[in-house]
Structure 1
C-alpha cells in the first residue's frame, strides 16, 4: 500500500514538473488546434476605451496601413540612430546570437540624406562662455564701465548647469535616447528588416521575464507556475493607470510576436536555384497558433491580441495630440522634392488620424493629487527600466527593433503624459492640442523616426492578423514564398511569454 501511494505521489510530482517546465520552453509541445479559435473572441469592445476591435480593423487596414507604410519608406524615416554597443546594465550576459540573421549593417553619417548634427551647437555649458555672449550696445549713451555685467560662468558651474539640464530633460522622458551618444550609428531600416532571427533560449527568455516580472505592475501572482503574465480576469483588480501600462507592454509584445510569425525563416536555402541567398521568408501559421491559440495560452491569447489594438490606439492618440507640432517639422533630407512629399504625406496621414471617432482618452489618468503624481513617476521609471533592458538583448537585429519600438512607445507616452505637452485649450474639431512654445517641445529626430516607425509596426501587425485570419479560415498552410504583405519580426522575446507584471517598485536585476 505504501509503495502504491509513493507511486501515485511520484506521478503527480512528475506531471507538475512537466507542466512547469513546459512554460519555459521555446515552443509548446502540444499541437495547435486546427481552428479559428485565435479570432473567435477578437471582436467587440476593447476595454478601457470606447472603441471596438472591428472599427480599428477597418480604419487601419483601409486608411492607415497604406499611408504609414509608404511614409516610413521615405528617406527621413529610413535612417535610425542607435547605439547597439551598450553593455547590459542589469546583469552580466555575454550570450550573443551567432546566426547570420542576427547581424545588421550600419551606415556612415555621410550616407544619411541631409545629415546634420543637430546637437553640435546645443551643449548647455557652452552657452555661457564669454566668447559666446553678444557684445553690449556701443551707443554713445552707454557707459561700459558703469554698465558692466559679468556674463561668464566658471567651468565648475557650467558643468553643474549641464547636469541640471540633463536632469530636467530626463524627468520628461520615458526612455533613453541615443541621439547624443558618441557610439551611436545610423542604420538603414530598409536593409535590416524586422523578422525571425533564430535568437531564442535562456537569454531571450530572460529579457521578457525581467520586463514582466520586475517592471509591470501586477495585482497578484497567478496560479500557474512559470506563467509570468497577469490573467485577464485579474486586470479589474488594477487601477486604470497600472492596467494601461500592462496592456501597452502586452500589446507591444504581441506585435513583435506577430512580426516574427509573419516573416519567418521557412527555408535557409529556398526551394529552387532561383531562391535568394538569404533564404525563403513568409508567414508561419503553426507558429502563430502556438503563440496565440487559447488552448496553448490558458485562454489568454485572444486577450493578448486585444492588447495590440489597445497600444495601437494609445500611439495613434499621441500622433493626434502632437499633430500640430509634427506638421511644422521640416523633415529635412537635402532633397527638396522628397522633403515636400514627406511633409505632404505627414499632413495627409494626420488628417486621417484626426478623423478617427474614438481616440484614447489620456486625461482620465493620473488624477488625484500627490498619490497620482507618485504613481505617474513610478509609471515613467518602470518604462525607463524597460528601455534599458533592451540593451541586454543578445541579437543585434532584435536589439535594433526592440529599442526602436520601445523608444517609439516611450515617445508616445511622453507626448501623452509629459507636462510639456499639456494645454488648457483644445481644438474641438480635431481633438488636438496646440503647441504653445515649440522650442520647449521639440522632439529629437530619433524620437520622431521611432514614433512613426513604431506605429507602422503596430499597423503592420493588425494587417497581418487579417492575413492569418484568412489562412486559418482556409485551413491550409501558405505557399513557401515571401508574404504578400510587408511584415517582419525580431524574436527578442521568449516564444511563450506574453505580458506579465512585476512588483510595484522598479528594481535592478542581478
Structure 2
C-alpha cells in the first residue's frame, strides 16, 4: 500500500475543501447527486473485455465471505517479508515517523509447520519441537525435511531454479535473509497511516512515468496526465496496443484499490484511550468524484474491475495445481490444513464457474518475435514496479505494496504458464510449474484486497446516496 497519495482534484471548490475553507456538506450541496458523481460511468461492459460491472458485483458478493474466512486462516495470515531492503533506484533514507506506519513483525504464534515449510509430512518435529524455536533466530523458511527422498530433494532444488528464472513477473524477497520476518496481516491491516507528500508522490510518479507504456509522440510526463491534470490522456491511451493498455489499467486499478482502502479505513477520531477507524466519504470523493477529477474518477473505478478480472482469471486457471492430492496448505495442524484446503478448492471452483472471464489469449497474440519482445518488456516493467516498493518510506505501506504487487505478479505468472499447468502430473512432484508459499499467500491476499475494494464501493455508494437525500 503506497499510502495517502491521491490524484489531483483540479478545481477551486476542491481546493477550498482540502484547505478546510468550504464545509464538506456545503460542497456536496453544490451537486444534485453525490453518488452519481462518483459512479456515473461505473456500469456496463469494461474496456477490452466481454464482462460487465454488474456481473462482477453480483459474483463478488457471493464469493466475498468465503474469501475472508480463507484469509483469516493460519496459512494465509502470516507473510514473510523483508521490509529493510534498500531502495535500488535512488538514495532515500527517509522513513515515516508516524505510529500508524509501524509494522508489528515476528509474532510468537506463527505455526511451527509454516516456519519449517514441510509440506510433505506431518511429523512430531513439525508439530512439537519446532514450536519452541525463538522467532528472531529462525532463519530458514524453506528448510527441507531430512526425511525427504533424494528424488524429492532434487525436485525442490529444481523449483528454486525455476522460481529465480526470467519467467517471474516480480522480484521476490530472499526468505532466508536475516532481515526477512513474519508479519501477521490480521494485526497489521491496510489502512490510512498519514504517509503523504513528496515521498509518496515520488513513488507513484516513478511507477507511472518510468514503467507505464506511452506513445513516443507524447512528450508531457505521463504522471501529469494520469494524476488528473489533463482530459486527453485516454484519447492516446486508446491508440496503444491491448497489452500496453492492459498494463496501464492494472496499475491504475491497483492504485484505485489502494485509495479505496485508505478511504474505507480512515482515522476518523483519536483520543488518549482509543482510535476510531471508518469510512471517510470526503477522501473517497477527492479521489473518485467525476467533477473533482475531471471525469477520471469513474474510469479509475472501472480499472479496479479490470484488475479484479485479471486476478480472478489467474486463480481459476491454477485450480489443477492446488487440487492435486500432494498439495497441502501446511501449518502442522492436519485437521485445520484439510479444512483450509477444502475451502480453497471450493473458492477456486467458484472462480472457474465465473461466466465472463478475461481472455488472456488476446495478449501477446501477434507475430511471435514481436509478441515475445513485448512480453519481455511487460515483465521487465512490472519487475521494476515490484522493486519500487522497497522505496516506500512507510513500513506498513511498504508491506502491503510489496504483497499486492507480488500477488499481481504471481497472477501474471499463472496466466502465462498455461502449458506448464496443463502438463502437471496427476500425482507426485513436478519440476515444472511451482508456487512458493510466499507467492500463494500474496496471490490470495492481493485478490482479497481487490475483492474488498469492490465490496466497499457498495458502502460508499450507500453513504453518498444518504448524503444526497439529506
TM-score range (shorter-chain normalised) is 0.7 to 0.9
Are the counterparts in 2 of residues 421 and 435 from structure 1 also a CA contact under 8 Å? Answer: no
Match of 2:465 among 469, 473, 484: 473
Q: Which residue of 1 aligns with 2:241?
A: 239
- For the residues of structure 1 that align with 2:175 and 2:467, how far apart are their CA atoms? 50
Residues 327-363 of structure 1, C-alpha deviations (whole Å, 9 max, x = no match) = 2330011112211110111111112111100111111
Instruction: Answer yes or no: is the 8 Å Cα contact 2:159–2:432 preserved in 1.
Output: no
In the other structure, the counterpart of 1:348 is 346
Q: Secondary structure at the match of 2:267?
A: strand
- Count of matched residue pairs: 408
Is residue 208–residue 222 contact of structure 2 (8 Å, CA) maintained in 1?
no
Q: State the shift of 1:232 in Å.
A: 2.4
Mapping for residues 328-343 of structure 1, pairs under 5 Å: 328=324, 329-343=327-341
Q: Hey, what does 1:255 align to over in structure 2?
A: 257
Q: What residue is the counterpart of 2:48 in the other structure? A: 48
User: How far 1:112 moved relative to its partner?
Assistant: 3.4
Pick one of 212, 227, 240 that aligns with 2:224.
227
Does the Cα contact within 8 Å between 1:262 and 1:283 map onto a contact in 2?
yes
Alpha-carbon distance between aligned partners in 1 of 2:144 and 2:340, rounded to the nearest angstrom? 26
Structure with higher helix content: 2
User: For structure 1, which segment, 165-174 or 406-415, has the greater mean C-alpha deviation from structure 2 after superposition?
Assistant: 165-174
**Unmatched runs of 5 consecutive residues or more in structure 2:** 1-6, 18-26, 118-140, 227-231
1:40-439 correspondence runs (5 A): 40-61=40-61, 63-107=62-106, 111-114=110-113, 115-117=115-117, 119-121=142-144, 166=161, 169-182=164-177, 183-219=179-215, 221=218, 227-229=224-226, 231-269=233-271, 277=274, 279-328=275-324, 329-367=327-365, 368-418=367-417, 421=420, 423=422, 438-439=430-431
Contiguous gaps of at least 5 residues in structure 1 = 1-20, 134-161, 271-275, 426-432, 479-510
Scaled by the length of structure 2, the TM-score of the pair is: 0.80
Alpha-carbon RMSD across the aligned residues, in angstroms, is 3.2
Cα distance in 2, alignment partners of residues 205 and 41 from structure 1: 27
> In terms of Rg, which structure is larger?
1
Deviations 1:383-405 (A, max 9, x none): 00000000000011000000000
> Is the counterpart of residue 451 in structure 1 residue 443 in structure 2?
yes
Deviation track 1:400-425 (CA, whole Å, cap 9, x = no partner) reads: 00000000000000011246646489
Secondary structure, in 3 states, of the residue corresponding to 1:406?
helix
The CA distance in 1 between the partners of 2:337 and 2:219, in whole Å, is 51
Scaled by the length of structure 1, what TM-score is found? 0.74
Q: 2 CA distance for matches of 1:416 and 1:187?
A: 28
Cα gap change, 1:235 to 1:435, in 2 (>3 Å):
farther
Aligned residue for 2:80, secondary structure, equals strand
> Alpha-carbon deviation of 1:268?
1.8
How far is 1:453 from its partner? 0.3
CA distance in 2, matches of 1:222, 1:307: 24
Superimposed CA distance per residue, residues 232-258 of structure 1 (whole angstroms, 9 cap, x where no aligned partner): 232210101111111011101100000
Task: Provide the C-alpha distance between the structure 1 equivalents of 2:102 and 2:144, rounded to a whole number of angstroms.
Answer: 34
Tell me if structure 1 keeps the 8 A contact 2:107–2:184: no
